[in-house]
Structure 1
Amino acid sequence: MTIHAERLRGAGLPELTPALAQRGQPLLFATVSGAHLCGFPSRDSDVDLRGVHLLPLADLIGLREGEETQTRMWEQDGLELDLVTHDLLKFARLMLRRNGYVLEQLLSPLVVHTSGVHAQLVDLAPGVITGHHAHHYRGFARTQWELYEKTGELKPLLYTFRVLLTGIHLMRTGTVEAHLPTLLEHVTAPGYVRDLIHEKAVAEHGLAMDLDPRRVRADVDVLHEVLDDAQRDTRLPGEPTAYDALHDLVVRTRVAAA
């Protein structure tokens, strides 16, 4: 089942469902992640697809172990596509590990393929969000900032701002939002970030031009402080509350497919 085709077109993406038909394992969902999800794709950006597959029971209890993580790359309509999926059990465990990546993938509005299990995972997502997710976004931002300092490229700089704003917004609202232009409507950030988004549209590996490094560092430091404050003041719980429900969903899904 596919939905949100109009959102894919709005993001400049073609119909991607036929390309998934050749997969070996049942696909529970696939969504668009990466720069397209974050709202700053370039003309030459590849398409990052992320999702969940379901290994057969024999691959879990027999001698031949199935692949918990599967990767496939190909080209369609001039676009490079990169599909990475996890088995449902692994994905559920990642959801419980304060992993912002998997939540962004699960909740991406750019849906290529979906199912009833996908809908149930979405419903359970609020029950895995905790105040500790701030650590994920803080660490991600530091990694991207270090990459920006080494390369001077726009992409890691934009990711630095994006993940800091995502973390702040999550701590304040309990809502996962990965789209940078939308985040700029809710969280105060330097005005030049919008200009950087426009520059990024020209080339995937473009350089961040005409920026004072001291000013940018100061702006990033301020957002780190805002994230610290937002984590301290958040009303999010300290531990996931959806463990039992996720366990039941994994068991039911596996039994039904056996």
Structure 2
Amino acid sequence: MSPVSRQIVEQLKRIEEEEDVRILYACESGSRAWGFPSKDSDYDVRFIYIRPVEWYLSIFEKRDVIERPISDKLDINGWDLKKALRLFLKSNPPLLEWLQSPIPYMENGPVAGLIRGIAPRAFSPSSCMHHYLHMAKGNYREYLQGERVKIKKYFYVLRPILACAWIETYGGMPPIEFLTLVDALVPNGSELKGVILDLLARKMAGDELDYEPRIERINEFLEEKLAYYERAVLGIKPGMGGQEHRLDELFREALQVTWGTSRTGG
């Protein structure tokens, strides 16, 4: 385990003690998990936690997230399991990405594995494509118009556009790693792939990638695909759904496995 990973696990264990929770799963999200971190990138740590049984037996709505201020490049926050499962029913892409992160920090108990097992049946191509298209449109509009653009933001439009292409082509949740998407969906030997890989190599080498003249070949590709997926998303199927009962069972099982009987009830 690297020194940073050890520090992250220590912080997660501290959160467990301070908040009286158990962390079921924790991972890296963001640019490090996607495969294009900068040398100064934060560690975007996301986790799913569960509280004791009695916390859920209340007539009051309670805060269902835990957040910590960014410190020493550590950006750590998490969702209560009930919140995570509700979002899972909506095929929430950030949560689905967490579950397949290539950089896990903690996985305690069977919950994360059980959710992964249900994911293909609960996946909504329509919901996820809408999410990625919205992300791509927003980042393109904000960062990549004009003669000079913020070069590193190309990755934050390319990745969601390629995610749309994956959903259209394969009908499932896109892989989290950017290079996997590029290899699968951008033709080998094409000018576009060469330009993307050159840009990725620069970013991985630690180049600043600040404002530079826009890259016409990538802009042409993005404008074409943004227009295409605006139309295509209307014909994408919503998915099967219908996993509510199984998720209720999973939540109760997680409570039992983690805490046993309620501590107030003996």
Q: TM-score range by the shorter chain?
A: 0.7 to 0.9
Secondary structure of 2:31's partner? helix
2:83 to 73, 79, 90: 90
Which of 137, 150, 155 is equivalent to 2:152? Answer: 155
Superposition TM-score, scaled by structure 2 size:
0.79
* Cα distance between partner residues in 2 of 1:197 and 1:13: 24
Report the RMSD for the aligned CA atoms in angstroms.
2.9
The alpha-carbon distance between structure 1 residues 181 and 226, as it changes in their structure 2 partners (threshold 3 A), is: farther
For the residues of structure 2 that align with 1:188 and 1:208, how far apart are their CA atoms? Answer: 25
- Which residue of 1 is the match for residue 255 of structure 2? 254
Quick one: structure 1 residues 221 and 239, their matched pair in 2 at CA, closer, same or farther if it must change by over 3 Å?
A: farther
Given that residues 39 and 179 in structure 1 are in contact (C-alpha distance below 8 angstroms), is that contact kept between their aligned partners in structure 2? yes
Quote the Cα distance in structure 2 between the aligned partners of 1:232 and 1:110: 34
Match of 2:121 among 119, 123, 127: 127
State whether structure 2 residue 198 is matched by structure 1 residue 195: yes
Q: Gapped runs of 5+ residues in structure 1?
A: none
Indicate the larger mover: 165-174 or 236-245: 236-245
Is the 8 Å Cα contact of residues 130 and 233 (structure 2) preserved in structure 1?
A: no
Quote how far apart the aligned CAs of 1:37 are.
0.9
Measure how far apart 1:82 and its partner are. Answer: 0.9
Q: Render the CA deviation track for 1:92-121: whole Å, top value 9, x for unaligned.
A: 111111321111012212110002111111
Corresponding position of 2:132: 137
Percent identity over the alignment is 23
**Which stretch of the first structure deviates more once superposed, 103-112 or 17-26?**
17-26
CA offsets per residue over residues 47-85 of structure 1, 9 Å max, x none? 00112011223322236754301112454xxx5111111
- The separation in 2 between residues aligned to 1:63 and 1:92, in whole angstroms, is 20
Partners of 2:250 and 2:93 lie apart in 1 by: 21
Q: Which runs of 5+ in 2 are unaligned?
A: none
Counterpart CA distance in 2 for 1:104 and 1:66 is 26
Distance in 2 (CA, whole Å) between partners of 1:169 and 1:160 is: 14
For 2:95, the aligned partner's letter is V
Contact 2:137–2:226, Cα closer than 8 Å, also in 1: no
- Select between 95-104 and 61-70 the one with higher mean Cα deviation: 61-70
- Say if 1:55 and 1:66, in contact at 8 Å, map to a contact too: no
- Residues in 2 aligned to 1:204 and 1:178: alpha-carbon distance in whole angstroms: 23
